[in-house]
C-alpha cells in the first residue's frame, strides 16, 4: 500500500490478483443470475428482457431513448425485446 501526499492510501494489485478478482466476479455473477435465468427461460425471455423490465419498473414513463442510453443496446435490439414484452 502506498500513501499519497494527500494522505490517501493506494492499493496496487498484481496481474494475478486482478485475474483472480475478475474470475471471482464472473462466478459470482453466474451464481447470482442462475435462478432468474431459469425463471426467464420458462417464459421465453432472456436477460435482455429482464434488464428492460428492471429499468422500466424503476423509471415508469421512461422513454425508449432513455432505455437505449441505459442499456447500451441498438434500437433494433431494444425494439425486438420491447415487442416481445408488449405481446
Residue 52 CB coordination number (10 Å): 20
Q: Are both 58 and 37 inside the same structural domain?
A: no
- C-alpha cell belonging to residue 21: 478478482
CB 42 within 8 A of CB 32: no
50 shares a domain with 34: no
Do residues 38 and 64 both lie within one domain? no
Span 10-25, average pLDDT: 92
pLDDT surpassing 90 at residue 6:
no
The 8-class DSSP code of residue 59 comes to S
| Total of domains in the chain | 2
Query: So what's the pLDDT on residue 1?
Result: 63
Structural domain harbouring 83:
45-87
Whether 55 and 78 share a structural domain: yes
pLDDT band at 10 (very low <50, low <70, confident <90, very high): confident
Nearest Cα residue to 81 out of 60, 57, 52, 40 = 52
Whether residues 36 and 55 fall in one domain: no
Amino acid at each position: 500500500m502506498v500513501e499519497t501526499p494527500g494522505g490517501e492510501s493506494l492499493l496496487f494489485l498484481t496481474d494475478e490478483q486482478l485475474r483472480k478478482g475478475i474470475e471471482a466476479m464472473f462466478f459470482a455473477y453466474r451464481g447470482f443470475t442462475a435462478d432468474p435465468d431459469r425463471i426467464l427461460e420458462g417464459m421465453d425471455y432472456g436477460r435482455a428482457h429482464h434488464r428492460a423490465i428492471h429499468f422500466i419498473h424503476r423509471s415508469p414513463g421512461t422513454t425508449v431513448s432513455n432505455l437505449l442510453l441505459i442499456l447500451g443496446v441498438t434500437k433494433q435490439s431494444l425494439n425486438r425485446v420491447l415487442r416481445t414484452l408488449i405481446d
